[in-house]
Amino acid sequence: MAARLTNIIAVGSLVVLLFLTLCLVDLRWSTAEYTLATILPIMLIMVLVVILCNKNHIKWSVSDVLIVLY
């Protein structure tokens, strides 16, 4: 179940990022920036659900911790 959910989230993330490349760029806040600001928290919640559903223990490295803190 968790592997299938992970694949769905990965493909969905790629589709969203590809969609953002098609949006027009403005001098001020563009549609792409509004969409990205809306989608990022949703993606974060979905990734946390996948991590919680995954029955394997997560092995954190130093680079993983730095990326999460960033």
pLDDT score recorded for residue 48: 79
Q: In Å, how far from its chain's centre is CA 15? A: 11
Q: Is the pTM of this model over 0.85?
A: no
Contacts of 31 (CB under 8 A, 6+ apart): 23, 24
Distance CA 1, CA 18 (A): 26
**50 pLDDT exceeds 80?**
no
Average pLDDT, the chain: 79
- Secondary structure (3-state) at 33: helix
Distance CA 1, CA 12 (A): 16
pLDDT score recorded for residue 1: 63
Torsion angles phi and psi, residue 66, rounded to 5: -65, -40
